[in-house]
Amino acid sequence: MEIRNAEFLKSSAHPKECPPPDFPEYAFIGRSNVGKSSLINMLANRNKLAKISGTPGKTQLINHFVINGVELPAISEDAWYLVDLPGFGYAKVSKSSRVKWQRTSEQYLTGRANLACVMMLLDSRHPPQKVDLEFMAWMGENGLPFVMVFTKVDKLNQSERAEFLPRYETEMLKRWHRVPPVYVTSAEKGDGRDELLRFIEQTNELYTAV
Which CB sits closer to ligand GTP, 79 or 199? 199
Which CB sits closer to ligand GTP, 43 or 115? 43
**Residue 52 within binding range of ligand GTP, rule CB under 6 A:** yes
Measured from the CB of residue 18, what is the shortest distance to ligand GTP in angstroms?
Answer: 19
**Residue 85 within binding range of ligand GTP, rule CB under 6 A:** no
Binders in 11-70 for Mg ion, by CB under 5 A: 36-37
The answer to whether 70 and 29 are in contact (CB under 8 A) is: no
Among 64, 81, 89, 152, binds ligand GTP (CB under 6 A): 152
Cα-to-chain-centroid distance, residue 177: 23
Beta bridge partners of 146: 118
Burial 145-181 (b: 16+ CB within 10 A, else e): ebbbbbbbbeebeeeeeeebeeebeebbeeeeeeebe
d(C-alpha 204, C-alpha 71), whole Å? 17
Q: Which residues bind ligand GTP (CB under 6 A)?
A: 30, 32-38, 52-53, 56, 86-87, 151-152, 154-155, 186-188
Give me the residues that bind Mg ion (CB under 5 A), please.
36-37
